[in-house]
Structure 1
């Protein structure tokens, strides 16, 4: 019998075991091909404004996703190989060399890889159309996506999985070479020792985790972070990492020990599931600690990216509130630009010509503008009426009412906008031909002109603007330089990139002239944040499957090791219902703590340091909980599958 014949017989005889491994590989192919096919889909590429950035981003993201697929598949293969140690021992006993066994495993991997590639490409191709439509919807582009199977995507996916097959063969070689023949037959008889638990260490675990919760939950404005930032940071890190390790090493062990000392311990099936868990603590501690921490990181990443995407649409509008704004040039040039706008597909909904006064600050800029390094060093003064005219066109209800020397600082991007109480008004002095001092009645997180922009380099710097009363503006008008701006509201401003390029080329012929266009930033920001969200979703999906598979495969391996014990339990009268109940409780105790603890960590950090800073978006907490709910669902599905398969394994007759 040739090695190829033996390979085919092995696959047929152990189809149930191979099916678990095959499913892992198919999932990997589907995710990789679906993602790569979008990079080569002409419909997707043609809809984008920043095509080069998109392809670079997809390439980097696909490489990261493939690393997680490697981890996922290699861990599955490790489980697969350990389940077959006795089989390999028989082959060695019958005279096969280690090289022949590894070659047989390589053939098996190629067969499974070929099946996975065909099935994964077919399913992935269908899903790529769906996910392409999802991506276009995220970017808010109205683009039809065709059902395509790009040859380049197929070739790259095939090359990646051939490389993975080679890596699997090397891993198999190491696993076979690492053990002796006698060890292959008796590998399943090695039992772990129960960990010694201590009530004081269990209390320390609760104390460390509790301390981290208190410090993190206090928020960034608390005394912990304002006055003791380094100490708080280290306390939080040690509390989370050390507390999580001790939670699984000591606190759970102490809880199980406490349960075992109860009077009614031997009633029902409690003894069945707790006794097994006490012997698994040593082997599970590092795995569960890593899974908890990494799950928290993945959920935080996904939540942050989703929040970033959700606020991006409004954020671009806040950063560049005018569809088109530029410093007024000579009449003929202004007329030429106006003609370009009228001839484009983006008709002007309104056009305002507004005058400002140019001054230099005498008072330190940070008195009126947060993060003054992002603002121009000169301060523009705009009249109350002119400002309110723009506000009415925008329809956002930000009108002001000023008198005398009152002023409002437009500190767009401020984390702490403020309306000052009467009598607490800070003063702010500017100078033109003479000095003028104003009383700041409000610091607004709002923009009059917004960031200067560029079709290529995106945002530059933003003008510093004070809104002053019409009376004060009229008094200063004769003592300051004037600067006029042309401000347009356009139809379909988000797709006006070509028009923006044409006008930008004209305006920038005047050195230092201000220019800002909503379209310059919108497409880059939205495409970038959409791609980041899309890629993060794939990364989170495969990483959560990889993390959950660590528990999944370890529990199935332990099921195989415990088959003999369950056979004894059947002989002494334990029925199937009691067995199933004990297995479900045992696996629930292993599957749920990592995801629940990870959810608590991630929610506390996201809530205290992100959600509290974006309270203008009340829908965000629900979105974050939805993300965490999806991760919890993945774990529940794997828990259910693991419990079912665990029972089948231990119920097999040896």
Structure 2
């Protein structure tokens, strides 16, 4: 019998163990091919407006996805190898060399990888239509996505997983070499020693966690975050990490120790599952800590980005209220532009406005919090034209100014302000002094844009009274603009390109379109949300699997102990209760602590800001709910498999 035959027989004999390993690799291939396939899907690429940005983001994200998968599969392989130590010990005893065992493992990995990669590519290709449609839906595009098996994605998937097979083979070889023959035979008989728990360290864990929470809550009330951002962030993170570690290492162990000293310790099955957990604290601490912290990061990242995605469209709508705004053209060109609009997106409203352009005023700090985002020259518009634009948009409040009163129009970064005492004055046009009465967030002229996503400085706009405007406009530089509102501006990409090419033939012309920024922001936020959601799925699957694999190994090692329990009269119903309570302690504390961590992070960075928008708060609770549901599935599955494993010896 050669090594290939032996490898094939091993796979058939240990079908259940190989199935777990196969599923791990299969899921990895499906996820990676589905994700990377979107980078080369012609339908998706054709629908995207910013193609280069899309390909760059997807490529970087696919690499991160692959690194997640590498970590997950290497962990699965490590579990797989530990489960076979006795088998390898037998091979060494019969005279096989370590290199031969590694070769046998290589053939097994090759068989499994060939099946998982080929089937994973097929399933991933079939899923490409669904995930492509999801991405298009996030971007609010109506393009149809077909099933796709891009050759580039297939080649890249095969290449990267071939590299992974090589890494797995090397890992397996060193795992075999690292252990002595005697250790191989007794690998499953090793047990963690009970750990001594310290009450001071247990209390310290709670103190560190509470201190980190408190630091997060005072972010807006003190200057510690503003003046010492990096130091405070590092200190908070370190306190949270150490506190979480000590919570599982000391506090949970201390609680179990106190429970073991209680009067009713020997009643029911309490002694059985508590004693088992006390012995496993040492080995589970790192996993519990890692799971809690990663869970907090996943929930926070997905919740934060989901809310950002949800509000992005509203932000763009507020910052770019003009569907199209551009410098006034001659009559023939103006008519040509309107024909372009009416061809597919009928004009709903139109207004021409004329303003006075002032000299450059470098010092604008008194008016704007971030003057570097605005032009140095100002544009003065009369109140009547401003009010007409308010009517055109159907959003905003009209103004009523007298004499030399002026209102500053700002973007979202500036806080609305009313100036009463002391009065704020500004001198323009050499000798004309105006009294600033208010600053409002209402862009009359938005940031200049281009269909490619490039932007420029926002025009600095002041609204003055009609009387002041009439007095100033004689012998001044006047600039005129056309503002249009159209039907369904979210699908006007092609129109924007055509109008932009016409308007920008004139050097220095102004052009701004809602769709330009909407498509850029929507595509970027959709890509980020889509990518982070993928990362979250992979990370959640990996975290759950880490716990899952560890419980399978512990179940295999505990079969003899449960066999003894059966001999002394413990029935199946009682054993199931013991298993459920034991695994509940394994799954529940990391989940709860991760949820609490993420809640504090989300509450003081997101929820307080959006508390007046219940629909946005619901998004965060939905993310948490999905996470809890997924963990519940892992818990139920683990208890079922755990019970089957400990029964294997008894059913043979």
C-alpha distance in 2 between matches for 1:144 and 1:19? 36
- Once the two structures are superposed, the pairs formed by residues 37-186 of structure 1 within 5 Å of their partners are 37-186=37-186
- How big is the shift at 1:13? 1.5
Task: Give the structure 2 partner of residue 347 of structure 1.
Answer: 346
Computed over aligned residues only, the root mean square deviation of the Cα atoms, in angstroms, reads: 2.4
Alpha-carbon distance change, 170 to 328 in structure 1, aligned in 2, over 3 angstroms: same
Structure 1 unaligned blocks of 5 or more = none
- How big is the shift at 1:177? 0.8
Task: Give the structure 2 partner of residue 23 of structure 1.
Answer: 23
Task: Give the structure 1 partner of residue 558 of structure 2.
Answer: 562
- How big is the shift at 1:348? 2.6
C-alpha distance in 1 between matches for 2:416 and 2:566? 70
SS at match of 1:367: coil
- Once the two structures are superposed, the pairs formed by residues 571-582 of structure 1 within 5 Å of their partners are 571-582=567-578
C-alpha distance in 2 between matches for 1:76 and 1:405? 75
C-alpha distance in 2 between matches for 1:317 and 1:179? 64
Task: Say whether the 8 Å CA contact 1:432–1:479 is kept in structure 2.
Answer: no
Q: Which of the numbers 604, 611, 623 marks the counterpart of 1:627?
A: 623
SS at match of 1:192: coil
Task: Give the structure 1 partner of residue 391 of structure 2.
Answer: 392
TM-score normalized by structure 2? 0.94
Higher mean C-alpha deviation, range 344-353 or range 267-276 = 344-353
SS at match of 2:648: coil
Q: Which of the numbers 609, 632, 646 marks the counterpart of 2:642?
A: 646
TM-score normalized by structure 1? 0.93
- Once the two structures are superposed, the pairs formed by residues 254-269 of structure 1 within 5 Å of their partners are 254-269=254-269
Task: Give the structure 2 partner of residue 430 of structure 1.
Answer: 427
Equivalenced residue count is: 650
Task: Say whether the 8 Å CA contact 1:369–1:410 is kept in structure 2.
Answer: no
SS at match of 1:454: coil
Does residue 273 of structure 1 match 2:270?
no
Alpha-carbon distance change, 334 to 432 in structure 1, aligned in 2, over 3 angstroms: farther
Task: Say whether the 8 Å CA contact 2:408–2:436 is kept in structure 1.
Answer: no
Task: Say whether the 8 Å CA contact 1:24–1:76 is kept in structure 2.
Answer: yes
Does residue 584 of structure 1 match 2:595?
no
Task: Give the structure 2 partner of residue 365 of structure 1.
Answer: 364
- How big is the shift at 1:31? 0.9
Task: Say whether the 8 Å CA contact 1:426–1:439 is kept in structure 2.
Answer: yes
C-alpha distance in 2 between matches for 1:568 and 1:352? 87
Task: Give the structure 2 partner of residue 598 of structure 1.
Answer: 594
Alpha-carbon distance change, 615 to 355 in structure 1, aligned in 2, over 3 angstroms: farther
Does residue 452 of structure 1 match 2:448?
yes
Task: Say whether the 8 Å CA contact 1:202–1:254 is kept in structure 2.
Answer: yes
Task: Give the structure 1 partner of residue 458 of structure 2.
Answer: 462
Higher mean C-alpha deviation, range 510-519 or range 533-542 = 510-519
SS at match of 1:458: coil
- How big is the shift at 1:617? 4.2
Task: Say whether the 8 Å CA contact 2:370–2:414 is kept in structure 1.
Answer: no
- How big is the shift at 1:311? 1.7
Deviations 1:451-497 (A, max 9, x none): 11122342222112222333343344347532211112233433333
Runs of 4+ aligned residues of structure 1 deviating over 6 Å after TM superposition are none
Task: Say whether the 8 Å CA contact 2:579–2:642 is kept in structure 1.
Answer: yes
C-alpha distance in 2 between matches for 1:272 and 1:345? 73
Does residue 413 of structure 1 match 2:373?
no
Task: Give the structure 1 partner of residue 480 of structure 2.
Answer: 484
C-alpha distance in 1 between matches for 2:599 and 2:465? 46
- How big is the shift at 1:368? 2.7
Alpha-carbon distance change, 369 to 277 in structure 1, aligned in 2, over 3 angstroms: same
Alpha-carbon distance change, 329 to 144 in structure 1, aligned in 2, over 3 angstroms: closer
C-alpha distance in 2 between matches for 1:132 and 1:230? 39
- How big is the shift at 1:14? 1.1
C-alpha distance in 1 between matches for 2:571 and 2:404? 87
Task: Say whether the 8 Å CA contact 2:365–2:371 is kept in structure 1.
Answer: yes
- How big is the shift at 1:619? 1.7
Deviations 1:616-643 (A, max 9, x none): 6442221112112222222221121111
Task: Give the structure 2 partner of residue 239 of structure 1.
Answer: 239
Task: Give the structure 1 partner of residue 524 of structure 2.
Answer: 528
- How big is the shift at 1:168? 1.3
- How big is the shift at 1:100? 1.5
SS at match of 2:348: strand
C-alpha distance in 2 between matches for 1:405 and 1:21? 78
Task: Say whether the 8 Å CA contact 1:359–1:430 is kept in structure 2.
Answer: no
Alpha-carbon distance change, 360 to 567 in structure 1, aligned in 2, over 3 angstroms: farther
Task: Give the structure 2 partner of residue 511 of structure 1.
Answer: 507
Higher mean C-alpha deviation, range 428-437 or range 261-270 = 428-437
Higher mean C-alpha deviation, range 243-252 or range 494-503 = 494-503
Deviations 1:547-605 (A, max 9, x none): 22222212221222222222222222222222211221221212122222222222222
Alpha-carbon distance change, 633 to 370 in structure 1, aligned in 2, over 3 angstroms: same
Deviations 1:354-380 (A, max 9, x none): 012223587952333232211111222
- How big is the shift at 1:210? 0.7
Alpha-carbon distance change, 491 to 85 in structure 1, aligned in 2, over 3 angstroms: same
C-alpha distance in 2 between matches for 1:501 and 1:227? 45
- How big is the shift at 1:415? 5.8
Task: Say whether the 8 Å CA contact 1:41–1:148 is kept in structure 2.
Answer: yes
C-alpha distance in 2 between matches for 1:505 and 1:127? 39
C-alpha distance in 2 between matches for 1:243 and 1:274? 23
C-alpha distance in 2 between matches for 1:581 and 1:458? 63
Task: Say whether the 8 Å CA contact 1:453–1:520 is kept in structure 2.
Answer: yes
Alpha-carbon distance change, 67 to 29 in structure 1, aligned in 2, over 3 angstroms: same
- How big is the shift at 1:333? 4.8
- Once the two structures are superposed, the pairs formed by residues 4-15 of structure 1 within 5 Å of their partners are 4-15=4-15
Task: Give the structure 1 partner of residue 310 of structure 2.
Answer: 310
- How big is the shift at 1:230? 5.5
